[in-house]
Structure 1
Amino acid sequence: MLPQRMTRGNIVSPYLLRRPPEAIPRQTQETTVDGYLQECRDRLERGWTPHYWRTIDQGIAAYARHLCDHKPHEHEPDAVHFRGLRPEPLDEEFQDRLLATAAADPQFCRAFSRLVKRGCQS
């Protein structure tokens, strides 16, 4: 049996009924960076998604501390502030450092190759 969903007229909400309404992420009401960071920590402790940030300073602080993954799209003006805060897995600089480490340490290279092979097999 499928879980019951909330319906409003002909619109079916994707959120299950057992999920509290305050768990749905919205824009934050916090005005300070510290307040927003604490709100993110509180929501993550409950297993909820953090609210969306209101100011760019809140977004930068939360993104840099890995509290929230919300960031502007690559072509938006504020995306410049988010570059380099967290290394992206396929970032060119990250790849260059990984290749340099593998070339300098053959033992690391073998261990990394085994890890990749195991991941591809499963």
Structure 2
Amino acid sequence: MVKSLLDEATAGRQEKLVMAGAANLVLTEDDFSGNLFPVLEAIEEQVTLLRLFGEMRAGDVDVVASIGRENESFGLAQTSVLASRYTASGGEIARLGVLGPTRMDYSSNMAAVRAVARYLSGLLGEH
């Protein structure tokens, strides 16, 4: 982990995590089997989610998913993460995503992530 952090620092890259809607995770008690603590801890810690996003390489795919047990090493075995890339200012590639329970509405959330990524690429590509 230290090597990865040093590599990022020497590359001059800046990684930020901006989040909204965390309160929506508690709308239904059944979604996280009564143990929302690891999810909230990962959100608060941020480095965990940055590592997870770093491992979710989309390649040529619009949206990539990491579901349940695939997230176990991050302490997020009860979650699913959907992510997509977009082109940020300066042509840099950035990612956005949705984190939720494994029983989320995948088709709607994938469409939303795809649409927002395209919108951001178009908007930021103009400047």
Q: TM-score, normalised by structure 2?
A: 0.27
TM-score for both structures, normalised by structure 1: 0.28
Q: Which has the higher contact order (CA 8 A, sep 6+)?
A: 2
